[in-house]
Amino acid sequence: MPRVEERRLQQLRGSSYVLTLPKDWVEGQGLGKGASVLLLTDPGLLIVVPSERAGGTAVDVELDVVGERRLEYLAKVLYKIGVNQIRFRTREPIQQVMSRLRRLRREIHGLIVTAPSEHESLASFSDEVFASLEQGIRVFLMTLASAAQSAAKQTGSGETSTLQDELADCRLYALALFRHVSGMIARPSRDLVIQALPLAGVVSARMLDLCDAFEEFATRGGDVSSVVGTFAELVSELTDAVGGDHESLERVEDKLRGVVAGRILEDCRAYELFTTLSKATESIKELMLIKMTLSV
């Protein structure tokens, strides 16, 4: 857990100030005299990150303590918060654990699974998927719009393989976006002021909610073509509005209010779907306004 301690600034000759770092932290990071660190600064905030492995973390997990039934859930949660490597240990043979982890490759980008020893499995994650937060939002929304278009076309055809593949892509990009936001606090970036990271976290959580809501609606059976067709159009408009002028986002938001009002009594699940999209749009609008107002 984070530790809080107070330290006083010292001033050298001239205008330079010195802030000492805790010895145990420095040595725990494998650093020493002459080592390089990165300073992430915003008004009222300073973050120090080892430059050679900014944000990189490794976690050891004893499956016999945590419970093997939580394997997939734990792997996804640790991936979401930016962990780079997970070492799973168990008294049982590791083959089944490795098989279960490999099945997560469809949802977790760049997952590599190896077995360093008979009772250990190592899950490693490759580099970031997105170059920026805005790109991540747009890629996820484009993938979601494509999945919605596929759902509209496949209604009644009995063919669902394409939709399932696109739903898997949606989950992959939603998780990758959440991971991207988690890493922004410990990665040099000019993408967003640090104080706005909680809002970026809300946006990434909304994207996961939106992915789940769409999958539940699109796979429930019956004729969903009309609803998902409208959904696809609105998501496409939202994608185009991200990074554009603020009025474009407000127009999408206004359209969604009308759709939600019209669907509320017609179909409970459709109402939930469009309400989730409306909440995501509102959060994106707030984030884009912050980026425009407090550009770094």
Alpha-carbon gap, residue 275 to 283, rounded angstroms: 12
Q: Rounded to whole angstroms, what are the CA distances from 267 to 121, 158, 163, 224?
A: 46, 23, 22, 11
Beta strands 17-18 and 10-11, pairing class = antiparallel
Segment among 2-6, 21-25, 280-284 with least mean pLDDT: 2-6
* % of the chain with per-residue pLDDT over 90: 51
The pLDDT value given to residue 92: 81
Tokens of 91: 């008294």
3-state secondary structure of 53: helix
Q: Do the strands 111-117 and 120-125 form a parallel or antiparallel pair, or are they unpaired?
A: antiparallel
Chain CA centroid to CA 171, Å: 10
Question: Which pair of structure tokens corresponds to residue 105?
Answer: 């490759």
The pLDDT-based confidence of 156 (bands split at 50, 70, 90) is low
Q: What is the pLDDT of residues 235-258, one digit of tens each?
A: 999 999 998 888 999 999 999 999
Helix, strand, coil % over all residues of the chain, rounded to 5: 60, 15, 30
List the chain domain ranges: 10-53, 58-125, 133-293
- Residue recorded with tokens 């063919």: 159
CATH of the domain spanning 133-293, picked from 2.40.50, 1.20.950, 1.20.58, 1.10.10: 1.20.58
Q: Report d(CA 21, CA 7) in Å as an integer.
A: 9
- Residue 155 gets the label, from left (phi > 0), alpha (psi -120 to 50) or beta, of beta
38-93 pLDDT per residue, tens: 777 776 777 777 766 544 578 899 999 999 899 999 999 999 998 989 999 998 88
At residue 21, does pLDDT exceed 80? yes
**Residue 213 or 40, more confident:** 213
Mean pLDDT of all residues in 139-143: 98
SS3 249: helix
What burial class does residue 134 get, using C-beta atoms within 10 Å of its C-beta: 0-12 exposed, 13-18 middle, 19+ buried? middle
- Beta strand pairing call for 58-62 and 111-117: unpaired
Report the number of secondary-structure helices (H) and strands (E) in the chain: 10, 8
Edge-to-edge order in the sheet of strand 58-62:
58-62, 85-89, 120-125, 111-117
